[in-house]
């Protein structure tokens, strides 16, 4: 697994997104530092891109080592290791008190409130715990499509902004997921289904399966879902905005 990359992009959000795809991990597994902000050139011409340094959190590295140990075990023995030896979620490794978790959630909600107020949007934020212990802040209201954007690009940028501000204010890092009316959850579930069907098809037909062009977030979900499926391998091919995931028999 790639532990650190430096990536460029038109915006900080896009640079981080590209780094996540390159590393094949989700956002809650990394820390990042903005090395330089993007700037425009003279008369509207292209200026300097955003540059970010992205590296894995220590708990993500521990999880990856556990996965490699499990793979070595399986190669030596025909029986798979017991379920208890599977990697635990990063959120399970980070132990915080209820007060600390409440502070993270409250700061995230306040940050979202400030952003919504600046945009003149009225909405509420529902807070709940995700399957892996992450804090999910779901923005609920009417006509919130502007916060999602095409293929969820605006929501992805909002996610990075809220996480960065919250982490900086508290000097603490914990998986914080921003959603809009459950959009991110529905999209992830659909992508997981697409990934598994593509893997089954690639194995059954014994040939590569090309998926439709996707955003870097969507491609990353496909890579992560199939990362532990030993029957297949995944790789991204093509150039933006026609870049796609190809699922190949292992």
Residue 47 is predicted with a pLDDT of 64
Alpha-helical segments (H) within 24-152: 58-76, 90-93, 98-119, 145-148
Helices then strands, each counted (H, E), the chain = 8, 9
Residues forming a β-bridge with 177: 136
Fold: same for 98-181 and 183-250: no
pLDDT < 70 stretches in the chain: 1, 28, 40-47, 59-94
Residue 61's pLDDT is what?
58
Q: Return the pLDDT at 77.
A: 31
Give the pLDDT score at 59. 63
Q: Which CATH superfamily is domain 98-181 in?
A: K homology (KH) domain (3.30.300.20)
Question: Hey, what are 122's tokens?
Answer: 């009225």
- The strand pairing partners of 233, in sequence order, are 248
Give the side-chain half-sphere CA count within 13 A for 170: 21
**Rounded to 5 degrees, what are φ and ψ at 34?**
-85, 110
- CB contact set of 248 (below 8 Å; sequence gap of 6+): 202, 208, 209, 232, 233, 234, 235
Architecture of domain 183-250: 2-Layer Sandwich (3.30)
Q: Break the chain into its structural domains and give their ranges.
A: 98-181, 183-250
Question: Apex CA 172: angle with CA 168 and CA 173, to 5°?
Answer: 95
Q: What is the pLDDT of residue 40?
A: 61
């Amino acid at each position: 697994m790639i532990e650190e990359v430096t990536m460029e992009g038109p915006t900080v959000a896009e640079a981080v997104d590209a780094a996540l795809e390159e590393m094949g991990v989700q956002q809650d597994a990394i820390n990042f530092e903005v090395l330089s902000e993007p700037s425009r050139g003279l008369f509207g011409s292209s200026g300097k891109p955003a540059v970010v340094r992205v590296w894995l959190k220590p708990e993500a590295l521990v999880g990856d080592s556990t996965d490699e140990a499990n793979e070595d075990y399986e190669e030596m023995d025909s029986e798979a290791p017991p379920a208890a030896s599977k990697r635990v979620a990063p959120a399970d490794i980070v132990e915080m008190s209820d007060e600390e978790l409440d502070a993270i959630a409250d700061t995230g909600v306040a940050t979202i409130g400030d952003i919504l107020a600046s945009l003149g949007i009225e909405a509420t934020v529902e807070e709940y715990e995700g399957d892996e212990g992450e804090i999910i802040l779901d923005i609920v209201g009417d006509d919130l499509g502007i916060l999602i954007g095409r293929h969820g690009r605006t929501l992805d940028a909002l996610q990075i902004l809220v996480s960065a501000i919250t982490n900086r204010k508290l000097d603490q890092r914990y998986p914080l997921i921003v959603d809009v009316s459950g959009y991110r959850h529905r999209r992830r579930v659909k992508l997981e289904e697409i990934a598994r069907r593509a893997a089954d098809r690639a194995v059954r037909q014994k040939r590569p399966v090309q998926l439709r062009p996707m955003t870097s977030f969507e491609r990353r979900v496909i890579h992560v879902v199939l990362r532990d499926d030993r029957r297949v391998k995944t790789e991204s091919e093509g150039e933006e905005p026609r870049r796609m995931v190809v699922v190949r028999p292992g």
